[in-house]
């Protein structure tokens, strides 16, 4: 039951008043057993969180992958400085001269803006050099680990058309609730709808509206990769000719082991413009996927950056006053 349960919860967690009953019905179990199993998986640290996964840009945030080159003796200090920013959701040490890699987001009303924030973090951390790598084109973002071992090597990545949405106060209030990790109880959304003074129907209708507009990618469970058995992840980086970027990006995105695939800018000190995150049960398995990608695409100039340490990994908290507090602390009017 465990593997099927994890696979299903990663793909689409049911937005119903009693979601664990819905899951139980699909996997041939009962609600109480599913709740007990999910509690165990959380206690073991295999499940990190079950919540909405929002599209940062569609909520008005500016974001980017950023890499710093930091001298070995300053790594701990630099990681602490970077982690203290509320817009940093992921921060890793990787095996490269550019050794600290993090994702950074700043809200629509940021006074510093994205580049100003990067410069401030660079100064505070003592980084020697930096590269800012915003997304130019997204081919895939979908962290769904194959816990069953039964899935094919490739998967089709659907292109979607989104409906426009006009965000009102009730939408922002719903974002604040949907982004929270749900309690593992019979009715996990009961407290949220009580706080919002909404019915279940209205709450789930807003969530559906978010999905149709692309504001919410999905509501799902995020796993701790290593504890779920996926002990290796490689950020594969590829030097792709501009005229072939679209075709090759879509081709690489079809590999199931690839969770993220983006086109990003390249620089004189960084020639790689296509990024594909590969997750596997071992470094050898990651290497095999990357070699297979190279063989299929014919690409010869590429690199593999393995994370050697995780400094920070958490979901971004949107519309958090901590952003304004950080800027007030580090700017002088």
Q: Which residues are catalytic?
A: 90
DSSP 204-221: HHHHHHHHHHTSEEEEEE
∠ CA 145-150-155, rounded to 5°: 65
Helix (H/G/I), strand (E/B), else coil: 155:
coil
What is the Cα–Cα distance from 248 to 239, expressed in whole angstroms?
11
- In the block, tokens 């958090």 appear at 320
Q: Is 314 exposed, middle or buried (0-12, 13-18, 19+ CB in 10 A)?
A: middle
Here the tokens at position 56 are 């940062």
With beta carbons less than 8 A apart as the criterion, state whether 59 and 318 touch. yes
With beta carbons less than 8 A apart as the criterion, state whether 252 and 274 touch. yes
What is the Cα–Cα distance from 230 to 51, expressed in whole angstroms?
21
What is the Cα–Cα distance from 302 to 290, expressed in whole angstroms?
9
Helix (H/G/I), strand (E/B), else coil: 55:
coil
With beta carbons less than 8 A apart as the criterion, state whether 126 and 82 touch. no
CB atoms within 10 A of CB 210: 25
What is the Cα–Cα distance from 277 to 306, expressed in whole angstroms?
10
Query: CB neighbours of 152 closer than 8 A, spacing ≥ 6?
Result: 256
Here the tokens at position 301 are 């100039």
CB atoms within 10 A of CB 305: 21
Query: CB neighbours of 309 closer than 8 A, spacing ≥ 6?
Result: 92, 93
């Amino acid at each position: 039951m465990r593997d099927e349960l994890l696979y299903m919860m990663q793909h689409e967690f049911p937005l119903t008043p009693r979601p664990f009953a819905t899951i139980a019905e699909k996997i041939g179990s009962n609600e109480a057993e599913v709740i007990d199993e999910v509690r165990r998986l959380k206690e073991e640290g295999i499940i990190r969180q079950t919540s909405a996964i929002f599209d940062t840009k569609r909520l008005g945030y500016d974001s980017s992958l950023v890499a710093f080159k930091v001298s070995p003796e300053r790594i701990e200090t630099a990681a602490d400085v970077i982690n203290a920013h509320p817009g940093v959701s992921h921060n890793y040490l990787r095996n490269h001269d550019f050794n600290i890699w993090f994702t950074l987001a700043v809200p629509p009303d940021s006074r510093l803006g994205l580049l100003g924030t990067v410069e401030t973090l660079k100064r505070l951390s003592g980084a020697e050099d930096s590269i800012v790598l915003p997304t130019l084109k997204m081919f895939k973002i979908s962290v769904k680990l194959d816990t069953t071992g039964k899935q094919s090597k490739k998967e089709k990545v659907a292109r979607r058309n989104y409906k426009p949405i006009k965000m009102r106060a009730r939408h922002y209030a719903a974002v604040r609730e949907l982004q929270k990790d749900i309690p593992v109880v019979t009715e996990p959304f009961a407290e949220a709808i009580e706080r919002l003074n909404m019915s279940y129907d209205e709450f789930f209708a807003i969530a559906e509206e978010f999905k149709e507009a692309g504001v919410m990618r999905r509501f799902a469970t995020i796993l701790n990769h290593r504890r779920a058995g996926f002990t290796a992840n490689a950020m594969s980086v590829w030097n792709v000719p501009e005229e072939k970027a679209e075709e090759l990006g879509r081709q690489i995105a079809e590999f199931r082991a690839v969770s993220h695939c983006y086109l990003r800018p390249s620089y004189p000190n960084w020639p790689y413009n296509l990024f594909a995150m590969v997750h596997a049960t071992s470094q050898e398995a990651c290497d095999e996927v990357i070699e297979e990608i190279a063989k299929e695409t014919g690409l010869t100039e590429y690199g593999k950056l393995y994370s050697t340490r995780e400094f920070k990994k958490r979901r971004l908290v949107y519309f958090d006053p901590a952003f304004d507090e950080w800027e007030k602390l580090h700017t002088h009017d």
